Structure 1
Amino acid sequence: MGNFLRYFWDFFIDNHNRPKSLLRNSIATPSLVASIYNAKYVNGMPLERINKEYLRNDIHISKQVLANWVIQCAERYLGIMFDYLQKELLTFRILQADETPVFVTKDGRPANSKSYMWVYRTGKGYKDTPIILYEYQKTRKTEHPQEFLKNFHGTLVTDAYAVYDSLDRKNPDIIFAGCWAHGRRRFAEAIKAIPKNRRESAQDTVAYQALKQIAAIYHLDNGLSGLSPERRRQERQLTVKPLVEAFFAWAKDVQMSNRLSKGKTLEGISYCINHEKNLKVFLDDGDVPLDNNATESALRTFCVHKHTWRLIDTIDGAKASAIAYSITETAKANNLNPFRYLEFLLTELMEHQEDTDQDFLKDLLPWSDKIPENCRIKTKD
């Protein structure tokens, strides 16, 4: 449990000496609430298990009270930091986006209606101040990323979901870069579907030839990772672009030949040709990655956790979860200890809860030199 219980006992401190409290008429303190957030959103413990762990230690805080603390502190405190981080995010030139389904039981719709957790992050490797933000929405409609990104001007790396194609047509301020991993995935699935006793003949397949060419593109591009963005762009034009052009010429020949029947290989060929423009964007910008894998990685914690708790009870809970995952994932991406950073944030935001000027928030950003040393994870030399 680590920090989960270790910092619980500070609520016994004489609270009447505190000039401000985190929540009115509550024993909640920054350390206690931070430990609950850490248990749920970093370690993936459902509130029911957190409640049971408390009871085993003769600590009586109901699941409902825990849920209320999580929601109230997200709305009152962490949400302020979320909004500030979103403004920072939209100043970046390269962003990446993805989404994953989630079930919310009390959202006014029939049972088993899918909701979605969208994630937006700064471009992988672009600048050293990463931001990862989650946003809960009831649907997968275009209006959601359109609203979230309405002040963004730059390149967005995504998969080929139709919502982004629609947004591409509506927003001339955004360049949409495609994801090579999604095209490659269909060819890999085609090879995997070949029976084991016939794998030796896989090298003669279109899927294998496609994977071989895409692997060569990745190999060359990965070798440019240590270069400056401008130098990488130049080298991409000289060395990677010919491979990309050759791949698309080959793919179009395969498509025109009608050699393929329905299946994953044909899907992969069609995907690549249909999104040729977007898949070539990385060639003209040294900061644009080949794929959207970094965003999928940013969603991984949430996807692992939702297999544990399966459902979110309310819309307020879903929104609070989006804020909490945003803060904890951004903290981890900036090499901060999520518990310590949450404790620091809640303490500072509590002290500034009556401030109308939000300039103090810049000192709370995960990369600020004002962040206490105990929030930073020590790296080995």
Structure 2
Amino acid sequence: MAASEEARRRLEVILGVARHGKLRGQFRMAFHILGELRRDKFGANSEKLRSDQYHLPLEDVETAQGILDAAQERAEAVIQGRSRSAPDQGSHRSPGCLPAHLPRVERIIEPASTLCPWGCGAKTKIGENVSKRLDVIPVQWRVLVTRRAKYICRRCSGAVVQAHAPEHVVPGGLPTEAAIAHVIVSKFGDHTPFYRQAEIYARQGIRLDRATMGNWSGRACFHLQPIADHMCRRLAIADRLFMDETTAPVLDPGRGQTNKGYFWAIVSDDRGHSGPCPPIVLFRYAPGRSGAFAEKFLDGFSGRFLQCDAYEGYDRLTEVARRQGPWTLVHCWSHLRRRFVKLARNSKSPIAHAAVRHIAQLYAIEAMVRGSSPDIRLVARKEHLLPMVAALKPWFGKQLSMISSGSTLAEDIRYALNHWQGLTRFLEDGRLELDTNPVENAIRPVCLARKNALFAGHEIGAENWALLASIVATCKLNDVNPAAYIAETLEAIIDGHPHSRIGDLMPWRFRKASSQAQ
């Protein structure tokens, strides 16, 4: 009778968990999100979402899965008659990656008594179970106390001897260079505005206002200017560049309104063909989007190819009088594909679906030679991609003759045909890419920061943002910890690092993030 009652109680627990209204909602939400992602990622003729676009919905799915896991574990514990904290001997879940450099803090849990209950004395230890879990403590702020001892000779009247006070970014001020670097990376790398940082630090008893952190960042800008200047000089000698622009709302102090400025990103990234030059990102601010700003920012650059979208403002670069000749524009297949993907989703057009399939074939072959030398890439492109691209142009022309000239599909096809020369230039040089993804990936964080706060209270502030964001973004591309880099670079510059050797302080010469703890 007792066993039957216990079984009934366990069944009620399981059924209660299953009937829980919140869990049902989690089930529905998880299935809905997964269905949407499955359609976007695996649906026929649709463009895959970027990896970062999956983050937010997948976080919701993972949260729902955690609730379901906890409910299942609770039910199994009740069925097996054990406590929730008892170890599951059959569970072999991976604890995740626990880097060897993390400090280990051990705690030993002993039984309440190690004496044999039958009077035999103390029991003998025959082994132990060891579990490792990832723990965290809040960011630790500390007070760095510097003492400079004074010495005097008591036998004569010689001068007092004392070490010179070290130079700092904020002379006689509160922060160390590491603290300034942390504030900079939090805003310009992790998109946490100063006012949000102030709230975070206040929870730890650290009172820092926005004006103070802004002043620190401005001082850092002054000292890091030679770094950005050298990065610009390195970009100026690159033979192939990427360029893109995005809006940047900037306050107009006189009217209390926002002006629509633009951040322009210039990128050199040769990793696609294993080139020797390090990846570099340089942001520049302009109050408008005119092609005149692109020409201004590229003045003095010696490159031949500019990979960009089909914005007409770039066309003026093909007429610039330079010793090297005008710029050669290389257009982006990703922008073209995006047009047909949007049309295929909205109108279910079979022609748009077919265009997406054709372009996907180009990317599939290109992926096979990514990272190879330019010569290998060029041979593969001429052998496999050239015939496909050559067949695609008359196919576009045929479809255009069969549809309404005023339709969106006709507009998209004309877009492809009008920019065909720029779209096919990648077939002429193995160093060129099919798209402008390197610069789009670099400029995407600007869009995240734009959603969090205005970039600046004036245009000078926007230019300072561009400088610091350039350094942080370049560190990330080179697998360098930006906080460690900025802190140590500021210290080196303050300590008098020779300007003639500023190249030694570039991010790509700093130790990699993977070796920070070694």
TM range (shorter): 0.7 to 0.9
**Distance of 1:131 and 1:276 partners within structure 2:** 29
| Structure 1 letter corresponding to 2:184 | Y
**Distance of 1:179 and 1:102 partners within structure 2:** 23
Question: Alignment partner of 1:313: what SS?
Answer: coil
| C-alpha distance 30-254 of structure 1, shift in aligned 2 (>3 A) | same
TM-score, normalization by structure 2? 0.65
**Distance of 1:11 and 1:116 partners within structure 2:** 40
Deviation of the 1:17 alpha carbon: 5.2
**Distance of 1:62 and 1:324 partners within structure 2:** 20
Instruction: Tell whether 2:316 aligns with 1:166.
Output: yes
2:296 corresponds to which of 123, 144, 147: 147
Cα shift readout 1:123-158 (whole Å, capped 9, x = no counterpart): 352525110111111111222221221222221100
1:190 corresponds to which of 343, 353, 375: 343
Q: Which residue of 1 aligns with 2:463?
A: 319
CA contact (8 A) 2:307 2:330 kept: yes
**Distance of 1:342 and 1:24 partners within structure 2:** 18
Q: Which residue of 2 aligns with 1:120?
A: 266
Q: Which residue of 1 aligns with 2:93?
A: none
**Distance of 1:109 and 1:164 partners within structure 2:** 32
Q: Which residue of 2 aligns with 1:361?
A: 502
Q: Which residue of 2 aligns with 1:176?
A: 329
2:406 corresponds to which of 235, 248, 262: 262
Question: Alignment partner of 1:183: what SS?
Answer: helix
Instruction: Tell whether 2:444 aligns with 1:300.
Output: yes
| Structure 2 letter corresponding to 1:150 | D
**Distance of 2:241 and 2:267 partners within structure 1:** 6
Deviation of the 1:109 alpha carbon: 7.3
CA contact (8 A) 1:11 1:28 kept: no
Q: Equivalent residues in 2 for 1:269-280 (5 A)?
A: 269-280=413-424
**Distance of 2:289 and 2:472 partners within structure 1:** 24
1:136 corresponds to which of 277, 282, 285: 285
CA contact (8 A) 1:94 1:156 kept: yes
| Structure 2 letter corresponding to 1:71 | G
CA contact (8 A) 2:320 2:326 kept: no
Cα shift readout 1:185-228 (whole Å, capped 9, x = no counterpart): 1110101103xxxx5xx5xx221121122112222222222532
Cα shift readout 1:23-53 (whole Å, capped 9, x = no counterpart): 3342232111101012112221110011222
Q: Which residue of 1 aligns with 2:307?
A: 157
Cα shift readout 1:203-254 (whole Å, capped 9, x = no counterpart): xx22112112211222222222253201211221222111111111221233
State percent identity of aligned pairs.
Answer: 26
CA contact (8 A) 1:184 1:268 kept: no
**Distance of 1:336 and 1:180 partners within structure 2:** 30
Cα shift readout 1:73-95 (whole Å, capped 9, x = no counterpart): 11x11221001101011211111
**Distance of 1:26 and 1:316 partners within structure 2:** 24
- 55-64 or 89-98: which moved more? 55-64
| Structure 2 letter corresponding to 1:235 | A
Instruction: Tell whether 2:367 aligns with 1:222.
Output: yes
Structure with higher Rg: it is: 2
| C-alpha distance 55-362 of structure 1, shift in aligned 2 (>3 A) | same
**Distance of 1:250 and 1:220 partners within structure 2:** 20
Q: Aligned Cα RMSD in Å?
A: 2.4
**Distance of 2:388 and 2:418 partners within structure 1:** 18
2:477 corresponds to which of 329, 333, 340: 333
Instruction: Tell whether 2:206 aligns with 1:64.
Output: no
Number of equivalences: 360
Q: Which residue of 2 aligns with 1:342?
A: 486
| C-alpha distance 338-168 of structure 1, shift in aligned 2 (>3 A) | same
Deviation of the 1:18 alpha carbon: 3.1
| C-alpha distance 104-225 of structure 1, shift in aligned 2 (>3 A) | same
1:285 corresponds to which of 408, 429, 433: 429
**Distance of 1:252 and 1:62 partners within structure 2:** 61
Q: Which residue of 2 aligns with 1:78?
A: 224
**Distance of 1:280 and 1:214 partners within structure 2:** 12
Deviation of the 1:108 alpha carbon: 5.9
| Structure 2 letter corresponding to 1:243 | M
CA contact (8 A) 1:10 1:31 kept: no
Question: Alignment partner of 2:431: what SS?
Answer: coil
- 164-173 or 45-54: which moved more? 164-173
Question: Alignment partner of 1:113: what SS?
Answer: strand
Question: Alignment partner of 1:35: what SS?
Answer: helix
| C-alpha distance 3-309 of structure 1, shift in aligned 2 (>3 A) | farther
Instruction: Tell whether 2:404 aligns with 1:252.
Output: no
- 304-313 or 115-124: which moved more? 304-313
Deviation of the 1:14 alpha carbon: 4.9
**Distance of 2:304 and 2:231 partners within structure 1:** 17
Q: Which residue of 2 aligns with 1:376?
A: 513
| C-alpha distance 61-17 of structure 1, shift in aligned 2 (>3 A) | farther
CA contact (8 A) 1:157 1:178 kept: yes
Deviation of the 1:182 alpha carbon: 0.7
TM-score, normalization by structure 1? 0.87
| C-alpha distance 337-167 of structure 1, shift in aligned 2 (>3 A) | same
Higher relative contact order (CA 8 A, sep 6+): 1
**Distance of 1:92 and 1:344 partners within structure 2:** 27
Question: Alignment partner of 2:457: what SS?
Answer: strand
**Distance of 2:313 and 2:137 partners within structure 1:** 41
Question: Alignment partner of 2:479: what SS?
Answer: coil
CA contact (8 A) 1:11 1:32 kept: no
**Distance of 2:253 and 2:295 partners within structure 1:** 22
| C-alpha distance 31-17 of structure 1, shift in aligned 2 (>3 A) | farther
The structure richer in helix per residue is 1
- Segments of 5+ residues of structure 2 without an aligned counterpart are 1-135, 149-162
